[in-house]
Amino acid sequence: GAVVSQHPSRVICKSGTSVKIECRSLDFQATTMFWYRQFPKQSLMLMATSNEGSKATYEQGVEKDKFLINHASLTLSTLTVTSAHPEDSSFYICSAGGWNEQYFGPGTRLTVT
Amino acid sequence: QKEVEQNSGPLSVPEGAIASLNCTYSDRGSQSFFWYRQYSGKSPELIMFIYSNGDKEDGRFTAQLNKASQYVSLLIRDSQPSDSATYLCAVNSSGGSYIPTFGRGTSLIVHP
């Protein structure tokens, strides 16, 4: 299967700061990437769909000004959590699509203190 | 609203038994069906996909699709404790959208 990487794997930041998470497709080009958030023992929640060269499409209830997504190339999408608060602490996972199936990155665990 | 339903479990089976995981979906036009495995604290890993009615086998895993009943299942033969995880069903709907709809997952526990 295809390989998707994420960086960093873990990050701790102070409330009010911003954090950038990178998602890379290593061995294929992904015109579409997805960003998910998962709280402990809960299901995946799709936050946004990231399309190369265009604005991301956000799911209802996700603040686009708080979660900035940039998909500058066919292999890189970034998610920036701006002005982070403790309630933003979660497991953030990206995925990239082949023709049909999705391949997930290893996830980034964000803790906001 | 496109829905994918799974029993949250936990489903507990003894080592060596067959584990049967089920998933139903609401969009009759759905085209593609996926099973992901997610270990605690890790991201999901694609283990099977199926597009056509019938069975698809890969090692100890068999995916079964019945579009008429809007039902997809995953069978795990000779279950091992290492199979203990949450299994997510995902469905790509009609219309060329590649945005999958995920079920909430079924927790599987394989006890020695």
pLDDT at B97: 56
Indicate which of B23, B35, B43, B86 best probes the interface with A, i.e. most A CBs within 10 Å of its own CB: B43
Per-residue pLDDT band for B96 (boundaries 50, 70, 90) equals low
Between chains, do A100 and B43 touch, taking CB under 8 Å as contact? no
Answer whether residue B47 shows pLDDT above 90.
yes
Q: Which of residues 46-85 of B touch A (CB under 8 A)?
A: 46, 49
pLDDT at B92: 86
CA angle B107, B1, A39 (to 5 degrees): 40
- Per-residue pLDDT at A98: 62
Rounded to the nearest integer, the mean pLDDT of chain B is 93
Of A1, A34, A46, the CB nearest to B46: A1
Q: Between B99 and A82, whose confidence is greater? A: A82
Structure tokens at A90: 């979660």
Mean pLDDT of B3-27: 95
Res. B95: pLDDT tops 70: no
pLDDT bin (cut points 50, 70, 90) of residue B94 is low
Looking at residue B93, what is its pLDDT?
72
Q: Name chain B contacts of A93, Cβ cutoff 8 Å.
A: 43-44
Is the pLDDT at B7 greater than 60? The verdict is yes
Residue B75 has pLDDT above 90, yes or no: yes
Q: Chain B residue closest to A102 (CA)?
A: B46
Provide the strand spans (E) within chain A: 4-7, 10-13, 19-25, 32-38, 45-51, 57-58, 67-73, 76-81, 90-97, 102-104, 108-112
Q: Which segments of chain A have a pLDDT < 70?
A: 1, 98-99
Mean pLDDT of B75-88: 98
